[in-house]
Amino acid sequence: MRYAMVIDTLKCVGCSDCVVACQTENDVPIGFCRDWITETVNGSYPNLDLELKSERCNHCDNAPCVRCCPTGASHIAEGGIVMVTADECIGCGACIESCPYDARYQHPDGYVDKCTFCHHRLEKGQLPACVSVCPTKCMYFGDLDNPNSEVSQLLKNRKHKTLAPEAGTNPHVFYLI
Amino acid sequence: MQEELFTSGRNIPHIDPSLEIWHWPISLYLFLGGIAAGILFFAALFYVLGKEKEYPAAVKFAAIIPPIALSIGLLALVYDLQHKLYTWQLYTTFRIESPMSWGAWVLLIVTPLSILWLFSYYAEIYPKTEEKLQLLKKFKFLATFEQFIKTNRIYIAYALIPLTLVLGVYTGILLSAFNARPLWNNAILGPLFLTSGLSTGAAAIILMAKTKKEKHLFGKIDLALIIIELALIVHMIMGYYAGSQVQLEAMQLLVGGDFTLMFFGFVVILGLIIPAILELIELIGYKVPVIVPAMLVILGGLIFRFVMVEAGQLTRFLY
């Protein structure tokens, strides 16, 4: 089992529904977010190229946050999901400093918080909140170890990229381009 | 042209627009840890070499600094934790890949050893205080314990030499292990912080030294360490020049950017080059009050930690 997320940048309209769904589902404190939308404009007028992306923790294989954690609070759970155990976290901030995606934040209660791929929903056989609400259905979620899964097929047949691959983290959120 | 912005209004406290996760306590601790490691290293080294009587400031008199520096440093570290009540979780595990875990355990060993080291010399270096308090006379077990530490001091010294080197290196590796912060992510930071720690330690010993011989020897040691440190800084800058785009951008902060005056003016020139020249002049035979170069080295070391911690958090891969 290796969970991965595939996001089609050609279909995303940047509506931020995934952001609100995550904040609601995970009770994210006001002012914080576990996922966000970026808008990238390339080129100069009139030859402009716009790319919209929904970004979050990349649940890396070579996760620097897990490597740097002094207590083992940050760990890789089943399916390759990078998780934080709140009552093992001392709030030192080493994982925040080590994340090239700046995907982690300090929860007002002190511990470090981040995207969990909606671990609690996966256990019930549901999709992550962001994926399930996407109105353009541009987000896909599944198991990369299964060659017939939707995500494996998309990555096999479509051109894709990951964020900051030069950081050497082997991220598991893929963007179709 | 490329322009990237958040359309979902991301403005997370302490994360955007740049990281503000580690504050002044971390910089202060990195400085105090370095200076304590430096002093204890020289104390243990000169004790092992049997030069206790020749260089009393290094072995005995400066011993008051490390326990105080480490205690303040540890308090600063805990103060900067956001989930303080769970601090004990550090000591439920040892994570070999995490520099902070190494640091936590090394501090747990070095801090008590530094207190024992001071305790074993307490009656010798503060005879007036002991006369007043009569601690060793009133409490028999303290006197027995002191005798025990004194006879076993050599083992503490043998343990302190490698441990203080680990402590000194770790203050740098703590930062360099984060590849997400291109300014920190270079292998030279460990040796550089160690050298800086040893140099500030030597400077503190110069301040405590009473004999000309000891001042001269530590002046020479400090001069050598400053030259090594300058060489390491040149290597660090060369490493950025030869690095990837993110490292080139990170270097801009130190070379030509917001931190240029702080780094080259206060750390390199005032904190290293000028004290080196003053120490050289003094060694040649001219009279220079040693307090000037020693204080400059110590202040330079402190500013260096602040510059690296603050500037490093401005550098990132994305956005």
Q: Quick check: B93 and A72 CB within 8 A? A: yes
pTM: 0.93
What range defines the domain where residue A15 resides? 3-176
How much is the pLDDT for A48?
Answer: 92
Please compute the mean of the pLDDT values over residues B253-268 and round it to a whole number: 94
Q: What is the ipTM of this complex?
A: 0.90
Q: Quick check: A91 and B22 CB within 8 A? A: no
**What is the band of B135 on the pLDDT scale with cuts at 50, 70, 90?**
confident
pLDDT higher than threshold 90 for residue B6: no
In a domain, B149, yes or no: yes
Q: How high is the mean pLDDT of chain B?
A: 93
What range defines the domain where residue B286 resides? 24-312
**Residues from chain A contacting residue B244 (CB–CB below 8 Å):** 166
Which of B83, B181, B316 lies closest to A111 in CB terms?
B83
In a domain, B163, yes or no: yes
pLDDT higher than threshold 80 for residue B1: no
Q: How high is the mean pLDDT of chain A?
A: 95
Question: What's the CA gap between B131 and B31, in Å, rounded?
Answer: 34
pLDDT higher than threshold 90 for residue B133: no
How much is the pLDDT for A77?
Answer: 95
Is the backbone of residue B289 left (phi > 0), alpha (psi -120 to 50) or beta? beta
Strand partners, A37: A54
At B104, give phi and psi (nearest 5°): -60, -45
Please compute the mean of the pLDDT values over residues A95-112 and round it to a whole number: 95
How much is the pLDDT for A130?
Answer: 96
How much is the pLDDT for A14?
Answer: 93
Percent of chain B with pLDDT over 70: 100
Which of B92, B99, B318 lies closest to A102 in CB terms?
B318
pLDDT tens per residue across span B208-225:
999 999 999 999 999 999
pLDDT higher than threshold 90 for residue B131: no
Task: Give the CATH number for residue A146.
Answer: 3.30.70.20
Find the residue in A nearest to B178 (Cα): A98
pLDDT tens per residue across span B142-192:
899 999 999 999 999 999 999 999 999 999 999 999 989 999 999 999 999
How much is the pLDDT for A69?
Answer: 96
pLDDT higher than threshold 90 for residue A156: yes
How much is the pLDDT for B9?
Answer: 75
pLDDT higher than threshold 90 for residue B3: no
**Residues from chain A contacting residue B2 (CB–CB below 8 Å):** 40-42
- C-alpha distance from B318 to closest chain A C-alpha (Å): 7
Task: Give the CATH number for residue B186.
Answer: 1.20.1630.10
Task: Name the E strands within A16-149.
Answer: 36-44, 47-55, 74-76, 82-84, 105-106, 112-113, 139-143
Question: How many domains, in total, are found in chain B?
Answer: 1
pLDDT tens per residue across span B226-238:
999 999 999 999 9
Question: What's the CA gap between A150 and A139, in Å, rounded?
Answer: 11
In a domain, B187, yes or no: yes
Question: How many domains, in total, are found in chain A?
Answer: 1
